[in-house]
Structure 1
Amino acid sequence: MRKLCLLVISLLSIASWQVQAQQRPQLSQYMLNNFLMNPALSGIEDYADIRVSNRRQWVGIDGAPTTYYVTAHAPINKGAASNKFHKALAHHGVGAVVHTDKTGPLRRTGISGTYAYHLPLTNTINASAGVAAGLIRNSINTSELQFYRDTPDPLAGGGNINKNMFDLSLGLWVYSKNFSVGIAGAQLLQDPASFQSVEIEEAALDLQRHYFVTGSYRFAALYKVDLIPSVMVKMANPSPTMVDFNLRALYDERFWVGASYRHKDALVGMVGFYVSPVLDIGYSYDASISNLNRVNSGTHEVVIGFKLLNDRRIICPQWVW
C-alpha cells in the first residue's frame, strides 16, 4: 500500500506545469483544511472542526485579492472499531462553508451546506463521498471602475450590480492514518453569472468548472518527527492547470513547519502550532516568483482552528494533518 500511495503522489506531481488565475480563491494552507475544496471530508474527525481564515494577497497592490472564510463540519453517529481487528462503523458528516473574496470592485461571496458518507474499506483504509450545495453571489461596485473610452460600457450604469448563482460540488476521498488521495469538482453546474445593467448591453461572467486532485503521505522520519509531502493539481478550463508541491515536518504532533512551491507563481513558508485540544493556529507567507514580485511585498494568510465537542481531547487531527 505504501508503494501505491507514493506512486499516486508521483503521478499527480507531473500532471501539469502552467499557472494562470482561476475563479476560486488561492489558498496556501489548504492541506490543513481540504474540506474547503472537497465536501467528502465532512465529519472526517471525531469532533466538530471550525476554522476561520484571512488571506491578504499581493500586499502593496491596490485592489489585490482579500479572502475570508469560515468552515465548520462534524461527524454524525461515528463509532470506533471494537478492536484493531475489526473495521470501524460507517458514519455520516455534515458541514457548512462561508467565504468572501474581494478583488478590486469585484466581490464574490458563497455559502454552502455539505454532506458526506464515510465507509471503512478495511481495518485501516476508509473512503468517503460528499456533496456541497449552496449559492454564489457575484457583485460589482461600478463606482470603483474607471473607463478610458467614449463607447458606452454595460457596467457603467453606476451603483452595485449583483447576480446569485446555484453552486454544486462533488468529491471523493480515500484515507488512512498515513495517506490520503482525493478528487473533487466545484461549480459543476457552470451557471452563467450575468451582471445585468440598466443599459442596453449585458456583461456576463460564466462560472468555470474547477477540479482538484490531491495526494499526501505521512511517514516517520526521525524520533517524534513526521514528514508529510503532498501535491494538489487544480484544473479549470479554459485556464491552464495549476500545481502545488508541499512538504511539512510535524514535531511531536504539536508543532509544524512547511514550504510549498506553486509553479511559476510563488514560494510559500508555513508554520503552525496545535495549542490545545481546543485551539490551533497556522500562518503562511507567499513570496511571488512571477513578475508581480516587483510590485508587491508578499501574501499573508492566517488560519485559526477550533475543536469543539472534542471528548477525547485530541490535539493533533488524526485524519487531516
Structure 2
Amino acid sequence: QNQYLNNPAMAGIAQGWEANAAYKAQWTSVDGAPSMQAVTATYGSENSKIGAGLSFYNETSGVIQRTNIKGSFAYHLPLNNSGSYIDFGLSAGVMNEWIDFSKVRGDQSDMSLNNFNQRKLYFDGDFGIAFRTNRLTIQGSLPNMKRFFNRDLVRTVVDRSSYFGAISYKFLNPNGVLNVLEPKLTYRGIDNYRDIVDLGLNTQFWGNKLLLSSIYHTTNSVTVGAGTTYQNQFSILLFYTSNTSDLQNYTNGEFEIGLKYHFK
C-alpha cells in the first residue's frame, strides 16, 4: 500500500498530498511483544517531476523503544509522454532509542541501562531509485547508508535492513470484474541474517472496491490481506502474517492495519 516506506524514490509519485498510517502488532500472546506504528505524508507536484515526503516510525519491543523521523526528496525524470519515469530519492533523519524504565523488571541502577539511554541521536539516510511505466515497476533502495562510512555499525547491529529490491507488473482489465492483477517479487537483505525473498500477488476487483493480496516469504510464513477504497480517496487494508517456521509452535502471527487518504 505504501511503497514510500521502503524506497524514498517513491515519494510523490501521485500528484497532490497523500497521508498513510499503519499499525502492526507481533506475537500478541507474548508479554512485551513488538508493536510498530508508522505515519507518512507525501506530496507530488503538478508536473509529476518533484516529490517530497515525511515519515514517522515508532517501535516498542520489550523495554526498548525506537523512534525514527525522516524527510525525503524525490525527482521523477520523465522518459516520454506515455507515463514512463526514472525516479531518484534521498531521505535524511534521526533515530532515538531508549529504555523505558517503567517496564524494567530488575535492578534499575544497572549502569548499562543508564548508559543506553545516554546515547546521542543517531543520524542516517536512505537512497532509492526506480523505473516505472504504467504497468512495470523496477525499484531498489539502500537504507541506513551511514553503515558505508562507519563499518563498526555493521558489526554491532543485527536484523536491520541492508538493501531492498523489487519488480512488479500490472495486468490491466478495466472493463472486467477483476481489474488489476499484479504479481510482485522482492528481495530483502538483512544484516547478520539470511536474505528474504517475497513473492506476492495484488488484485483489484470492481475498480478498487475490493483489494486482495497474498505474499509468500522464504521464512516459511505467509501474509494475506484484504481491503477497500472509498471514492478513490480513502483506503483501508487489513493484513495477517503467519509465524515463521521457527516460531509457529510458540505464538501467533502478526496483525497489521493500514490507512491511506489522498487529498484532491
- Which deviations, in whole Å up to 9, do the C-alpha atoms of 1:151-172 show, x marking residues without a partner? x975244994554100100000
The 8 Å contact of residues 273 and 281 in structure 1, kept in 2 or not, is answered as: yes
Shift in alpha-carbon separation, 1:174–1:162, aligned structure 2, 3 A: same
Tell me the TM-score normalized by structure 1.
Answer: 0.72
Q: State the partner residue of 1:318.
A: none
Kindly report which structure 2 residues correspond to 1:117-266, keeping only aligned pairs within 5 A, or say none: 117-124=75-82, 125-141=84-100, 144-145=103-104, 155-157=112-114, 160-190=117-147, 206=157, 208=160, 210-220=162-172, 223-225=176-178, 226-254=180-208, 255-266=210-221
- Rg (Cα) greater in structure: 1
Q: More relative contact order in 1 or in 2 (CA 8 Å, sep 6+)? A: 1
**What 5-or-longer segments of structure 2 have no aligned partner?**
none
Kindly report which structure 2 residues correspond to 1:1-321, keeping only aligned pairs within 5 A, or say none: 32-76=1-45, 78-79=46-47, 91-124=49-82, 125-141=84-100, 144-145=103-104, 155-157=112-114, 160-190=117-147, 206=157, 208=160, 210-220=162-172, 223-225=176-178, 226-254=180-208, 255-308=210-263, 310=264
Cα deviation, residue 301, structure 1: 0.3
- Which deviations, in whole Å up to 9, do the C-alpha atoms of 1:19-63 show, x marking residues without a partner? xxxxxxxxxxxxx21101111111100221100111001221122
- Which deviations, in whole Å up to 9, do the C-alpha atoms of 1:87-117 show, x marking residues without a partner? xxx6111110001011111111100110001
SS of the equivalent of 1:40 reads helix
- Which deviations, in whole Å up to 9, do the C-alpha atoms of 1:278-305 show, x marking residues without a partner? 3110010111142322222221100011
Cα deviation, residue 123, structure 1: 2.8
Give the distance between the partners of 1:242 and 1:209, measured in 2 at CA: 10
More moved, 96-105 vs 183-192: 183-192
More moved, 297-306 vs 136-145: 136-145
Give the distance between the partners of 2:253 and 2:192, measured in 1 at CA: 27
The 8 Å contact of residues 161 and 188 in structure 2, kept in 1 or not, is answered as: no
Shift in alpha-carbon separation, 1:122–1:269, aligned structure 2, 3 A: same
The 8 Å contact of residues 43 and 95 in structure 1, kept in 2 or not, is answered as: yes
Give the distance between the partners of 2:114 and 2:236, measured in 1 at CA: 44
Amino acid across the alignment from 1:244: D
Give the distance between the partners of 1:278 and 1:291, measured in 2 at CA: 40
Shift in alpha-carbon separation, 1:231–1:260, aligned structure 2, 3 A: same
The 8 Å contact of residues 188 and 209 in structure 1, kept in 2 or not, is answered as: no
More moved, 247-256 vs 112-121: 247-256
Shift in alpha-carbon separation, 1:219–1:242, aligned structure 2, 3 A: same
SS of the equivalent of 2:55 reads strand
Tell me the TM-score normalized by structure 2.
Answer: 0.87
Extract structure 1 runs of 4+ deviating beyond 4 A: 145-148, 156-162, 204-209
Amino acid across the alignment from 1:305: K
**What 5-or-longer segments of structure 1 have no aligned partner?**
1-31, 80-89, 195-203, 311-321
Shift in alpha-carbon separation, 1:159–1:243, aligned structure 2, 3 A: closer
| RMSD (CA atoms) | 2.7
Cα deviation, residue 236, structure 1: 2.9
Amino acid across the alignment from 2:205: Y
The 8 Å contact of residues 142 and 159 in structure 1, kept in 2 or not, is answered as: no
